[in-house]
Amino acid sequence: MLLQLTAALCELSCMEDAQGRTQFATVLGEQLGRPVDVRGVRLREDVVAMVRAALNVVGGERVLVRVVEVFEGAAPADELDRLLAPAAPAPTAGTLPGPLSGHDQSTARSLLADAKGEVSAARLRDALVEDLNGLYLPAGLSPEQLFAHVLEWNAQPDGLPPAVLLVDLAAGLAAVPGHRTALVKWVDGWAQRAGLSEAVGRRRAERTASVSDPDIPCCLIVAVEPARDGSGEFVVRPWLNTVPGHWDPQPGEPATTTLDGLGPAVERALRQGARLWSAPRDPDPVGREQPTYVEFVLPYDLLNHDVAGLRFATGHGRPLPLGLKYGVHLRSLERMRTDDVLVRRQWQERWHALRQNGVTVHSWSGSDAQRLDAWHTSLAGESDHTAVVLDAPADTSALEALKAAIAEGIALAIWDRRGVFIEERREVVTAVFASVPIAAQIPMAIHRLRRKAEHPAQSPDLLGRHIAFFWDDPTRLVDIQTDDGDLASEEAPA
């Protein structure tokens, strides 16, 4: 039944784009009386989620037919209804299928209720997303609601159901020893009866070995490159990293657009991630601010494009610059894609020096244009240089200097997009570098500089409105090794 309904729904016009699927899921959830969450990334994945939600509610398949009639009319609904005619009766209460018995379910719910208030729902959701290799989970649910949400999900390849993993993760977050012991005992008892004690042990060992990095944020990564078909259009490929502390970006919905359409494409990707980032987070252990990052992976000839100034709107408000709310960074498409071992090694070494020793600037200005080879040689010979400050790479010589810096492993670069980076504005950058004790805080310092410059009372000539910030972390990569024309095989609309 799952297969037949999925195939039928995939043919409907209301399922063709992510927005249509989201609207359908919203109405279906309202009619079922429970939330129906879709990621809006893959057509079939979203349809499977909606069909499963309907089939897990008594009489839900008939509700699904009615919602199809609302969106598509009577004829498609009738075809769907004919598929249901030979279906077996829906299970009655107390006989729901699944790996957990009714007793298992009730005792787990009771234990989670006892630990309510001490188990952080946000941390539990993030940990479960990681254990499930990035599968989407809705934000804002309590531990008991999360348990109900994943109760009928398929077991993982090692045989462990997501509901069991959730209880095990809740045990690790429980503050009261008695509650923690009770939750662990429940998991161990279920695993012993299911013959999966070794799988539970492996999961726990893997979690212990996994170290959370507080510098890894929630992040949208946007790779932009020419479509290579002579059209002058660009292929935009987004990734979403939704769990702070761990780098596991999931691919979003790619699109082809013009440079003028880049802003709307980024806004669509941000809306995909908004529901994942909206859940309350536990405070940073050292009290740091950390906005969601938006990182643009760009080819050389787009690095001076004003991506921080791209505008997006929230609700019916006026469109605002992207850099006002998000930490916007530039990254190198060519370097992320390279398979040159020397380039990657130098990149990692400069990054390590930046993290360990801080910022040491190798400056470039127009006067260096006549001696670019000497400037490059000096940079290559001084491994302690960890950053460059230069004129805008719209100028040919400045672009060559930036290419040389990227080739030598530089991961931090700053310039004034307007062209020549005059000395008084370079002093602003020097002050910014001096204001942060560790390199990991530089992105937040640049974000504050941009926000301050956007205040209506400030001059539009302030550097914060025009600064370009290149921050290219070699430990946080995305897979952009693509074949020509591969977008045609995606389910995303052009």
Question: Do residues 342 and 465 both lie within one domain?
Answer: yes
Whether residues 323 and 456 share a domain: the answer is yes
Q: What is the pLDDT of residue 281?
A: 55
C-alpha–C-alpha distance, residues 289 and 452, integer Å: 15
* Listed residues 187, 209, 231: the one ending a domain: 209
The number of folded domains in the chain is 3
Q: Say whether both 27 and 133 belong to one domain.
A: no
Query: Are 191 and 241 members of one domain?
Result: no
Cβ–Cβ under 8 Å, residues 127 and 166: no
Q: Is residue 335 located within the same domain as residue 290? A: yes
Residue 103: how many CB atoms within 10 A of its CB?
A: 8
Report the alpha-carbon distance of residue 78 to residue 345 in Å, rounded: 61
Q: Quick one: pLDDT at residue 469?
A: 98
Give a yes or no: residue 483 inside a domain: no
Backbone angles phi, psi at 223, to 5 degrees: -95, 130
Task: Tokens 């504050």: give the residue.
Answer: 448
Residues 223 and 204 placed together within one structural domain of the fold: no
Residue 450 domain-assigned?
yes
Domain stops at, among 84, 117, 142: 84
Chain position carrying tokens 């992105």: 443
Cβ count within 10 A of residue 306: 14
Question: Does residue 336 share a domain with residue 242?
Answer: yes
Q: Is 487 part of a structural domain of the chain? A: no
Q: Provide the 3-class DSSP secondary structure of residue 467.
A: strand
Exposed (0-12), middle (13-18) or buried (19+): which is 438, by Cβ within 10 Å? exposed
CA distance 345 to 351: 10
Domain endpoint, select from 31, 49, 84 = 84
- 37 is in which domain, residue-wise? 2-84
Residue 307 CA to residue 321 CA, distance in Å, equals 9
Instruction: Verify that 349 and 449 share a domain, yes or no.
Output: yes
Predicted TM-score (pTM) of the model is 0.61
Question: What residues have CB less than 8 Å from 71, skipping those under 6 apart?
Answer: 12, 14, 24, 27
Write the pLDDT tens digit of every residue in 292-351: 899 999 999 999 999 999 998 877 778 899 999 999 999 999 999 988 889 999 999 999
- Give yes or no for a contact between 176 and 118, defined as CB atoms under 8 angstroms apart: yes
Q: How far apart are CA 171 and CA 157, in angstroms?
A: 22
Q: How far apart are CA 69 and CA 300, in angstroms?
A: 50
Same domain, 177 and 249: no
pLDDT at site 120: 82
My answer on whether 56 and 18 are in the same domain is: yes
471 exposure class (CB count in 10 Å sphere: 0-12, 13-18, 19+): buried
Residue 209: predicted pLDDT = 67
List of the chain residues with pLDDT < 70 = 58, 85-98, 134, 209-212, 275-289, 481-494
